[in-house]
């Protein structure tokens, strides 16, 4: 599967030391009426309720009818974790509770004064993580939080752990996926990831590109969740240009447990 990751002109502009500009392959903004460039391949349609923690984001700019797409994860009744570069505009529409990404059970529009981005972004790599303070959301079978790693796992790199990544990206036909697509991927060491990219931050995390499975230019902010004892260990942030030549990249959640707790009070 290739998840269509969100990027903006104002998003990260960090250079790779390797052969790929893996941080920000810039893609055009997409409108509700238009279709994005990008595709999901080798994924599978999720069963209803498979990932009740995922939310779909429409990222909006005041005075414009355009909206970029992204993803996020519910970590508490009133908090969503996402990528910081999803939070560079005026508001987001958060869609909850259905595998129909943009036709959820309900949605909230949240203004930018409820956005919290890591203060070291973009000055330092590996800091692409952000929070959205939301109205209170009651949990159901289809809407629920995902656990964070425990404080005792703060130093865990999760190498070789199998995880689930899901999102609503562009399909091969150029249309946005209307139904949630998922893939299983395995976390690799940063040293293996650097064989493709030359360098990655210690707070980055990568999954191996296997059988064409890769995140790709547009569903940033979406979740990477362990298959066993589900915990949110990664936030989708980068991929190789064209999404063909390298591992998929995430911000490593276990390195930000203190930051998340300081801003939300959420910890495990």
Active site residues: 85, 128, 220
CA distance 87 to 11: 9
Give the C-alpha separation, 184 to 225, whole Å: 10
CB 254 within 8 A of CB 158: yes
12 — alpha (psi -120 to 50), left (phi > 0) or beta?
beta
* Euclidean distance between CA atoms 71 and 238, whole angstroms: 13
**CA angle, 15 then 17 then 23, to 5°:** 40
CA dist., res. 29 & res. 6, Å (int)? 8
DSSP letter string over 182-248?
EEEEEEE-HHHHHHHHS---TTEEEE---TT-EEETT-TT-EEEESSS--EEEEEEE--GGGSSS-E
Sequence-separated contacts (24+) of 59-65 with Cβ below 8 Å: 59/6, 59/86, 59/87, 59/88, 59/89, 59/92, 60/89, 60/90, 60/91, 60/92, 60/93, 60/109, 61/89, 61/90, 62/90, 62/91, 65/31, 65/32, 65/33
């Amino acid at each position: 599967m290739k998840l269509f990751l969100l990027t903006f002109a104002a998003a990260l502009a960090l250079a790779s030391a390797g052969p790929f500009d893996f941080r920000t392959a810039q893609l055009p903004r997409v409108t509700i009426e238009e279709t994005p460039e990008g595709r999901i391949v080798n994924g599978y349609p999720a069963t209803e309720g498979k990932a009740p923690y995922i939310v779909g984001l429409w990222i909006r700019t005041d005075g414009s009818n355009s909206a970029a797409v992204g993803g996020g994860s519910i970590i508490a009744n009133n908090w969503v974790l996402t990528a910081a570069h999803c939070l560079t505009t005026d508001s987001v529409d958060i869609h909850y509770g259905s595998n129909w990404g943009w036709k959820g059970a309900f949605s909230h529009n949240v203004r930018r004064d409820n956005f919290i981005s890591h203060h070291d972004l973009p000055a330092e790599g590996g800091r692409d993580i952000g929070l959205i303070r939301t109205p209170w959301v009651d949990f159901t079978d289809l809407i629920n939080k995902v656990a964070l790693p425990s404080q005792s796992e703060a130093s865990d790199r999760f190498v070789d752990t199998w995880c689930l990544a899901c999102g609503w990206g562009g399909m091969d036909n150029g249309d946005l996926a209307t139904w949630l697509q998922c893939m299983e991927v395995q976390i690799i060491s940063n040293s293996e990831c650097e064989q493709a990219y030359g360098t990655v931050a210690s707070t980055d995390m990568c999954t191996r590109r296997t059988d064409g499975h890769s995140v790709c230019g547009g569903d940033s902010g979406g979740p990477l969740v362990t298959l066993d004892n589900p915990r949110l260990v990664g936030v989708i942030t980068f991929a190789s240009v064209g999404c063909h030549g390298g591992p998929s990249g995430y911000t490593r959640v276990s390195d930000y447990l203190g930051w998340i707790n300081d801003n939300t009070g959420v910890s495990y």
